[in-house]
Structure 1
Amino acid sequence: MTKKILKLFVLSLFVFSSCTKEDSFDDSIVIEASQKDPLSPQQINAKIDESINTKGLFNWKEASNHLLWSAMAQGQNIATIGFGNSASNFDRSMTSNNQKIQNDLLAIIKKHEGKELDKILISSDNYLNLLDVIIEKQETVIALRNSNYLRYLEPSGYKYFEVKNQYSKSASSSGCGLESSTISSLDYTTITPNALAPWTFYKHNITSAWSYSTGAGVTIGVVDTGASTVNTLFNSSFNDGYSSGRTVQKFGVYVDSIWPWSTTTDGANDKCGHGTSMSSVAAAPRNDNGQPVGVAYNSNLITYRAASNVVLDGYHEQNGVKNAFTGLANNTNVKIISMSMGHVFSVGKIEDGIKYAYSKGKLIFCAGGTSTDFTTFVGVIFPAWMAETVAVTGIKETSTYQACDVCHTGSKIDFTIMMQRAGTGNTVPVNSYNEGQGDYVGGSSVATATAAGIGALVWSKHPTWTRDQVLTKMRQSSHLYPNKNAEYGYGMLDASLAVQ
């Protein structure tokens, strides 16, 4: 009896040992001793900068496992997983097995992290094939990257600009400022019923275009820092003067928190000022209050407070932009989306959001880039370089094409807007965040919002057209068409030609 028990014990030990060895063999991930500690934030940024300087771009897909994991470790361990049956499979509604893929990927994380789901999963997007999760171990990164269903894996909590220590807390470097400015009488023309038409409108024949179209029936979505809830021209007086029969809506999707699980937004009000400026140039009313008018002054407007400033650095800002794009994509009334914010390298979840909006027929305008002292080495920024977006930049008031002092140019640019005066250097008059006051705004930001407004004029004139027909008409009406310049695209838009 004792011998039988001993034999059974030895046999069971052998079976257990065999299974354990097989499991460990299949799943063993060996990490070199030199890569067991994460890189410092400065080392991570150095590798990113090296790629941008040598290749012109950086993408986390090309990063080593160690670099990717290091950025996660230096960014609260927050990661975004884009999944699907192929590289282009971003839409949940087009993925019948999306839940199975999601569960399989989460199972990989649970196994290697040794944690339950509630300690891993931050959120699962309702419309896109992506997850936000917590990953602490490099082994998990390697295991996920071996999955055939992984489209991308990114460290969504890592703050590149914060590490550079240049972006800091300066409002000017982030595109923010709630102050007002006195607008020079040389920079506008007073038009009925007592509105100010900015000087740049005449350079693009926008006031002439109003004889044919004022943007009625078209809804523009502005993805930015929100819109003022103080200035009545974006609230109760949105229909003022010659503007009538239109609507304005404001949404807040930005969560101002260091905690990734937090979902409480800080509202729709613009706490930066940049979003108010963009909304102003695109669709401010043709008012009787002596304030600047927008390009498409009879268009509907939807604003999203998606970020705290124009540099999309960090989890909640990138998540907010993604949510803004999916929200606008699912709104059938929206035809045009304008975003004058960006990053120096791609962000997977924002790419997915833009592709989702594009798949819904939206015409998307994005800023080509406006330099601060830490982005001068970058060409056209993300997401303006995407095929799904229309990239716009600003030029000076000269007879030849010259980029504005802080505007980026490059082969991805589609259109230019003249927005910097030759003599004074003044930019474009807009409505201030504050009631009854004006301000100036420049760079590729204002150029983008202006182009979006012109797009609304064209679509309003031809309401049955598709996005591609509107874009083709805009190209055909531009100064350099049919040629495309290597730095300035099709050149200056002519709004009057575009609506005839």
Structure 2
Amino acid sequence: MKTQLSLLALAATIIITSCQKDEIQNYGTFDLNVETLSQESDTFLTIEQINTYIDKSFSEKGSFSWDDAPANVLWSAAVHGHELITVGYGGEGESFREAKSTRLENIQDDIVNVVSASEGLTKSAVKYIADDVLNVIDIQVTSLETIRTLRATPDIRYLEPNGYSFYELKPAQGPAVKSSSGCNFDGANLLAADYRTVAPNALVSWTFDRHNIEQAWSLSTGAGITVGVIDTGLSASQPKLGSEFTDGFSINSRTVQKYGTFIDSPWWWSNNYDGPNDKCGHGTSMAATIAAPRNDENMPVGVAYDSNLVSYRATEDVVLNDYHERKGVSDALKALGNRSDVKIISMSVGYPWSIGNVRDAVKYAYNRGKLIFAAGGTSLNFTNWYPVIFPASMSETVAVTGITDAMGYNQCDTCHDGSQIEFTVVMERDNDNGRTGVTLGFYDGDNDYVGGSSVATATTAGIAALVWAKHPSWSRTQVLNKLRQSADLYPYKDNNYGYGNIDANLAVQ
């Protein structure tokens, strides 16, 4: 359960929150300078010292990985994070298994045996959870020597303290700034300049016009394509994403499904699933941007208003700093990967550095042909110089960011850019109070504004659904290539903005 939040995150953000703190026994910590933190030692570190080490890595390398951390840093973070270590095992690149494997089962058994021997426990007393698809095991570790022994064990791909959730990425100067981490329940009164009304009385966001989305509807509305959204779920109070999903001109045969993989518990071994309903607001906004019906009630329509929707409440907010959020996203990716009807996955959530079990799950879904869109990152305007966040930083995902409506390409106030970005979406007024696109609100009858690289990602996923619906026999590669060819910078790829803005009308030709 989170109790402290850090740095504005309206999209897959780079900023991290803090969660409930453990009671840590006295391991005998010492005062250490920054240089000493990078050296191997037997010293148990405080949360402040661990975060100083992480800050140093970001400052010097522009990135952070637990693989590079001294064993005592990893051990200290694990102890602070409910004594949990996530172990990725198998050969290099062996993220998952397609069938039963005695070899992999033996490796997993070896890991449990190592922990049992090092911790002085019987094998039955070792607390662990083994994934049934990914080559990943979550296991309780209390000893520094156990960490060192595991690192020396063959066929270990990574060790990560997945329960550590106390890091706050700071701006270049000054203290961290607290925020709501992308959550919002309040509706908004829309200004007339920010939408147009189309039959049968639906509102089209001004941002759609920058990508010729309404023109594309004459050729495709997304019918027959199913989009999976991994986020904070769908509001039980927004019927346009429930019982009224086929309202207005949207086809009666389309469907919306809601699932939940997030567990609301301070204990990593809990199985207390918290259901599919949004308690943040972010997931509702993203799903609405993609697939809200072309309604007759003066409310915003989605990009692919005839597409099917599968929503997974995998996170509490947009920041994947909690073990159960990481596991929730991993489980949602596996579930969507296993569905033959799901073509596209949209993820407007993230974290500053790579998370092993999520990374493995992305590869699993990608291996099953899914076209995965991920947000490049959203934070405060004085921290948006940080790199593209994870999982948008992966080659298996398509990274998207937001820009303003100024001439040329102008980074939105809170959006990240970088070499991994594939596409941009116009989602912010440049000189008019920074207003963003319009979408459904959290409650019945409410409209709202939504911005950042989150909505840019959802918009792009919707455009992809339009293209795939027009060409249902196409592969993921063909759809992605068509999106690239329809973007206004193609064949040039800008180092910060990728292929730029997609022309949806051109893309569906």
Q: Same fold (TM over 0.5)?
A: yes
Provide the residue aligned with 1:380 in structure 2. Answer: 388
Provide the residue aligned with 2:494 in structure 1. Answer: 485
* Alpha-carbon shift at residue 229 of structure 1 (Å): 1.1
CA RMSD of aligned residues (A): 1.6
SS in 2 for 1:440: strand
After TM superposition, the structure 1 = structure 2 runs for residues 149-188 of structure 1, keeping only pairs within 5 Å, are 149-161=155-167, 166=176, 170-171=179-180, 174-188=181-195
Provide the residue aligned with 2:441 in structure 1. Answer: 432
Matched, 1:100 2:84: no
Aligned match for 1:232, one of 226, 239, 243: 239
Provide the residue aligned with 1:249 in structure 2. Answer: 257
After TM superposition, the structure 1 = structure 2 runs for residues 68-217 of structure 1, keeping only pairs within 5 Å, are 68-84=74-90, 86-93=91-98, 96=101, 97-161=103-167, 166=176, 170-171=179-180, 174-217=181-224
User: Which amino acid is 2:488 matched to?
Assistant: H
Aligned match for 2:229, one of 222, 230, 233: 222
Query: Are the counterparts in 2 of residues 225 and 309 from structure 1 also a CA contact under 8 Å?
Result: yes
Q: 1:298 to 1:113 in 2, by over 3 A?
A: same
SS in 2 for 1:67: helix
Aligned match for 2:422, one of 414, 437, 445: 414
Query: Are the counterparts in 2 of residues 161 and 167 from structure 1 also a CA contact under 8 Å?
Result: no
State how far apart, in whole Å, the 2-side matches of 1:228 and 1:160 are.
29
Q: 1:167 to 1:339 in 2, by over 3 A?
A: farther
Query: Are the counterparts in 2 of residues 159 and 313 from structure 1 also a CA contact under 8 Å?
Result: yes
* Alpha-carbon shift at residue 270 of structure 1 (Å): 0.3
Q: Which runs of 5+ in 1 are unaligned?
A: 1-32
Provide the residue aligned with 1:454 in structure 2. Answer: 463
Q: 1:122 to 1:105 in 2, by over 3 A?
A: closer
State how far apart, in whole Å, the 2-side matches of 1:119 and 1:493 are.
55
Query: Are the counterparts in 2 of residues 167 and 374 from structure 1 also a CA contact under 8 Å?
Result: no
Higher-helix-fraction structure = 1
State how far apart, in whole Å, the 2-side matches of 1:34 and 1:184 are.
58
User: Which amino acid is 1:185 matched to?
Assistant: A
State how far apart, in whole Å, the 1-side matches of 2:302 and 2:124 are.
48
User: Which amino acid is 1:70 matched to?
Assistant: S
Provide the residue aligned with 2:34 in structure 1. Answer: none
- Deviation per residue, 1:186-237 (Å, 9 max, x gap): 1000000000000011100000001111001110000000011111101100
Query: Are the counterparts in 2 of residues 48 and 58 from structure 1 also a CA contact under 8 Å?
Result: yes
Q: 1:265 to 1:217 in 2, by over 3 A?
A: same
* Alpha-carbon shift at residue 261 of structure 1 (Å): 1.4
State how far apart, in whole Å, the 2-side matches of 1:186 and 1:426 are.
10
* Alpha-carbon shift at residue 47 of structure 1 (Å): 1.2
Aligned match for 2:353, one of 345, 349, 356: 345
Aligned match for 2:403, one of 376, 395, 405: 395
* Alpha-carbon shift at residue 331 of structure 1 (Å): 1.0
State how far apart, in whole Å, the 1-side matches of 2:114 and 2:89 are.
13
* Alpha-carbon shift at residue 345 of structure 1 (Å): 0.6
State how far apart, in whole Å, the 2-side matches of 1:334 and 1:237 are.
21
Query: Are the counterparts in 2 of residues 339 and 367 from structure 1 also a CA contact under 8 Å?
Result: yes
Matched, 1:475 2:484: yes
State how far apart, in whole Å, the 2-side matches of 1:161 and 1:236 are.
40
Provide the residue aligned with 1:20 in structure 2. Answer: none
- Deviation per residue, 1:464-494 (Å, 9 max, x gap): 1110110000000001000000110000011
* Alpha-carbon shift at residue 50 of structure 1 (Å): 1.4
Query: Are the counterparts in 1 of residues 385 and 416 from structure 2 also a CA contact under 8 Å?
Result: no
SS in 2 for 1:439: strand
* Alpha-carbon shift at residue 167 of structure 1 (Å): 6.9
User: Which amino acid is 1:39 matched to?
Assistant: L
Provide the residue aligned with 2:51 in structure 1. Answer: 45
* Alpha-carbon shift at residue 56 of structure 1 (Å): 1.7
User: Which amino acid is 2:389 matched to?
Assistant: I
State how far apart, in whole Å, the 2-side matches of 1:40 and 1:47 are.
11
Q: 1:216 to 1:423 in 2, by over 3 A?
A: same
Query: Are the counterparts in 2 of residues 396 and 403 from structure 1 also a CA contact under 8 Å?
Result: yes
State how far apart, in whole Å, the 2-side matches of 1:255 and 1:323 are.
11
State how far apart, in whole Å, the 1-side matches of 2:86 and 2:192 are.
50
Q: Report how many aligned residue pairs link the two structures.
A: 464
State how far apart, in whole Å, the 2-side matches of 1:133 and 1:294 are.
42
TM-score normalized by the length of structure 1: 0.90
Query: Are the counterparts in 2 of residues 112 and 139 from structure 1 also a CA contact under 8 Å?
Result: yes
Q: 1:376 to 1:46 in 2, by over 3 A?
A: farther
* Alpha-carbon shift at residue 248 of structure 1 (Å): 0.3
Matched, 1:405 2:413: yes
State how far apart, in whole Å, the 1-side matches of 2:125 and 2:488 are.
56
Provide the residue aligned with 2:431 in structure 1. Answer: 423
Q: 1:497 to 1:39 in 2, by over 3 A?
A: same
* Alpha-carbon shift at residue 163 of structure 1 (Å): 8.9
User: Which amino acid is 1:307 matched to?
Assistant: T
Provide the residue aligned with 2:326 in structure 1. Answer: 318
User: Which amino acid is 1:340 matched to?
Assistant: S
Query: Are the counterparts in 2 of residues 214 and 298 from structure 1 also a CA contact under 8 Å?
Result: yes
Provide the residue aligned with 1:7 in structure 2. Answer: none
TM-score normalized by the length of structure 2: 0.89
State how far apart, in whole Å, the 2-side matches of 1:262 and 1:166 are.
31
Provide the residue aligned with 2:18 in structure 1. Answer: none
User: Which amino acid is 1:176 matched to?
Assistant: C
State how far apart, in whole Å, the 2-side matches of 1:159 and 1:230 are.
31
* Alpha-carbon shift at residue 122 of structure 1 (Å): 3.0
Bigger Rg, which one: 1
Runs of 4+ in 1 over 6 A off after TM superposition: none
* Alpha-carbon shift at residue 63 of structure 1 (Å): 1.3
Q: Which runs of 5+ in 2 are unaligned?
A: 1-38
Query: Are the counterparts in 1 of residues 381 and 414 from structure 2 also a CA contact under 8 Å?
Result: no
Q: 1:78 to 1:204 in 2, by over 3 A?
A: same
State how far apart, in whole Å, the 1-side matches of 2:169 and 2:409 are.
35
Provide the residue aligned with 2:297 in structure 1. Answer: 289
Provide the residue aligned with 1:307 in structure 2. Answer: 315
Q: 1:427 to 1:117 in 2, by over 3 A?
A: farther
State how far apart, in whole Å, the 2-side matches of 1:329 and 1:192 are.
36
* Alpha-carbon shift at residue 162 of structure 1 (Å): 5.8
